[in-house]
Each structure stands twice: as structure tokens, then as C-alpha cells.
Structure 1
Amino acid sequence: MDIRLRTARLALRRLSPADLPAVTALCGDPEVMRYLEDGRPMSPAQVADEVLPALLREYERLPAGLGCWAVASGTEPFLGWAALRPAHSVGLETGPGGGLELGYRLLPAAWGRGYATEAAVGLVRAAFTELGAERVVGTTMSVNSASRRVLERAGLRHVRTFFEDWPDPIPGSEHGDVVYELTRAEWSGSAPS
């Protein structure tokens, strides 16, 4: 098992083709997908043909330490995933100054236990201590209060709200999307020693 990082309760490990059933369950869950993509669950074929292969290719394409990592606990081999990648989402600055984008997606059975925050804090620390990032960013829908809390607990602060003309808007999109960020200087000033 290729471990990216360990926290007090979690291991973030490389995804593998064997994770297809778990990733299919994650991306096929209506509650998980409610605020993502077009708000609809993904089909098993889409996950098998597009999603998982794209995630696996990231390990070869991105610099070491970046990508999407399965989140596992001592008793659960797959709770969801957490990701750290070059910023690419709508609403974020991309390119060299865009920073690293934090993301996470957990199965509903793992919600409310602090796992997303724990994984996010670990990836933020790795971004600044191992990867030399100058900035970590994240974005979510304004109405996704759970995701916003994770970003805030990981140390990121709300910097702006934006409105996009989505081709197939989902409920809540009329309230816009939010961008959060944390700079190296801010993190250095607040990180526990």
C-alpha cells in the first residue's frame, strides 16, 4: 500500500484499480454528489471508463505528492478520498500562481466524524512543509455549509463569492460559489510548532 500521509486516525493511500467498487459507490451516491458536478450521481460505466482512470493517471502526470488519495481508517479501507492538485476548478486562479487545490469527498457513513477535516489539515500541512506551496485554495457551493466548515477548520479563509452561468444549474447555485485560501505566510503564523 502506497501511503501518502498518516494522521492520528487516517491513512491517505494511493488509489488502485481494486478501488473501483468503492469509488463507484462514492460517485454514485446522490447525497455525495448533491453539490458536485451537475448534482447527479455518476453511472458505474462513467466511473469505470472515465473517473477512476483519470485519477490513476494523475499519479504519473502530477509531481510527486499530488493527486487524489483514498482515505482509510484502521477499520475502514475506504471512507472516500482527499485530493491536493494544481488549482483547476472554475473560479480559481490557475497556472503557477494559482496554488494547490484542496478537495475531499467522503461516503455518508463517514460524515460528521471529523475525517474530512483531519485529512484536509494533513494535506495542508504537507502542501506547505513538503511540497513548497505558497498557497492552498478550495472552492465549494455557498450553500454547502459542511464543506465550508471543513475548509475553515483546515485554516483556509473565505476570500470571495462568485456567480457562474452554469449550463445545468443545480439547487443552491443561485447563491453562488465560494473561494477559500490559505497562504504559506498565514499558515506559518498559525501552525502549531
Structure 2
Amino acid sequence: MSALPEQSATLLETARLRLRRLTPADLDHLVELDSDPEVMRHLTNGRPTPLPVVRDELLPHLLDQYDRWPGLGHWAAVDRVDGTFLGWFALAPPPGDPPASGPTQAELGYRLRRSAWGSGLATEGSRALVRYAFTRLGLRRIWAETMAVNVRSRRVLEKTGLHYVRTFHLTWDDPIPGYEQGEVEYEILHPGC
């Protein structure tokens, strides 16, 4: 993994991925990604995120994170060889305003096109972000959540080095199949903790 300067649009590169800042030009990529019922299965029960929501709410929020939370945010994942948009990875900042001393933890996340599933890219990008979070940002804890029934994501988190913390239950207005098994939280702590 080679980390590049924060000012650059590229956050870091792995053997097969380049993680770069999202831009307004990524709108169509994000809409397409969130329109795949399988990609959204454990998030919205397969319902797509409407274009106006991505354009007017989601993308502006994600772009704002870069300035409010230096080093944290969501990054487009593109193929290093041909530049194909594959999805995104995130070190999502905690809710609220940034503390004066800087954040101590972030939530790991990713969303990839189905064509990228099963190739190890989710683990590759996640491992790179965890290393970045600990070595470049000095974060103390990285955590992630998913549905207990989302076995593929749980396996990625485990291969990334995160450990199971707990199972908890949320109240759903429109439950997704499997919700009764709960949500799971995983974490990894900085080796110095």
C-alpha cells in the first residue's frame, strides 16, 4: 500500500485498487451501485436509493466530510489498471462535529458492485484503510456493523482483522428479512491500545 498526500484526490493505492475522493461526477456511479437489488439486499431489502436522494442529500453530505473530517470519509474504489468504478470504501466519521483533539475512532464500510464480489477486493481495500487509520491518522479504534445474516460481510470483517464484539437488535419500521437475528458489531483496536 502506498499512501499519498492528503491534498491529492487519491487517498491510497493497493495492488488492485485506487481509493480516491468522490466528486459530483460520481453521481451516476453511485446511483447505479445503489440500484442493484443484491448490493442493497442487507441495507434496504433491495430497494434502490432514488436519484434525487443521492444527488441532493447523500453525495453533498459525503463531499462535505472531506473538509469537516480531514482524513476520514468515503472514497471511490476504482480499478488501478483501467479506472473502472467498483464501489466505495469508508472510514466514516462519528456523528456530530469533529472534536478539537481530532477523532479517535471511525466506522469501516464498503459497498462494491457485484462484479467485484468474491475476488478479495473488499478485504484488500478494508485492510488498507485500517492500516491507514492506525498509521496515518492515529486512530485508536475501527469498528463496523452489519446484519447478523450478512455472512459475506462478516467474513470480510474477520479477514480484515476485526473481532466480533456484540449482537444487538434494532427497531425497524419496515423489517428486512433476517432482522430478527440482529445486527453485529466488530472492532479492531490500534496495536498500542
Name the counterpart of 1:141: 147
User: What SS does structure 2 have at the residue aligned with 1:72?
Assistant: strand
Contact 1:38 1:168 in 2 (8 A): no
Residues 139, 28 of structure 1: CA spacing in aligned structure 2 closer, same or farther, 3 A cutoff? same
Name the counterpart of 1:85: 92
* 1:164-179 correspondence runs (5 A): 164-179=170-185
1:161, distance to aligned residue in structure 2 (A): 0.5
The one-letter code of the counterpart of 1:178 is: V
Q: Which runs of 4+ in 1 moved over 4 A?
A: none
1:8, distance to aligned residue in structure 2 (A): 1.0
Q: Distance in 1 between matches of 2:135 and 2:55?
A: 34
Q: Distance in 2 between matches of 1:28 and 1:85?
A: 22
Percent identical across equivalent pairs? 53
1:38, distance to aligned residue in structure 2 (A): 5.9
CA-based RMSD: 1.9
The unaligned stretches of length 5 or more in structure 2 are: 1-7, 96-101
User: What SS does structure 1 have at the residue aligned with 2:177?
Assistant: coil
Contact 2:22 2:74 in 1 (8 A): yes
Are 2:36 and 1:15 aligned? no
Name the counterpart of 2:111: 105
Which of 130, 133, 157 is matched with 1:151 structurally? 157
Which of 127, 131, 138 is matched with 1:125 structurally? 131
Of the structure 1 ranges 26-35 and 175-184, higher mean CA displacement relative to structure 2 is found in 26-35
With structure 1 as the length reference, what TM-score do the two structures score?
0.87
Which of 18, 23, 29 is matched with 2:36 structurally? 29
1:169, distance to aligned residue in structure 2 (A): 1.1
The unaligned stretches of length 5 or more in structure 1 are: 89-95
With structure 2 as the length reference, what TM-score do the two structures score?
0.87
Residues 153, 114 of structure 1: CA spacing in aligned structure 2 closer, same or farther, 3 A cutoff? same
Are 2:57 and 1:72 aligned? no
1:86, distance to aligned residue in structure 2 (A): 2.4
How many residue pairs match? The answer is 179
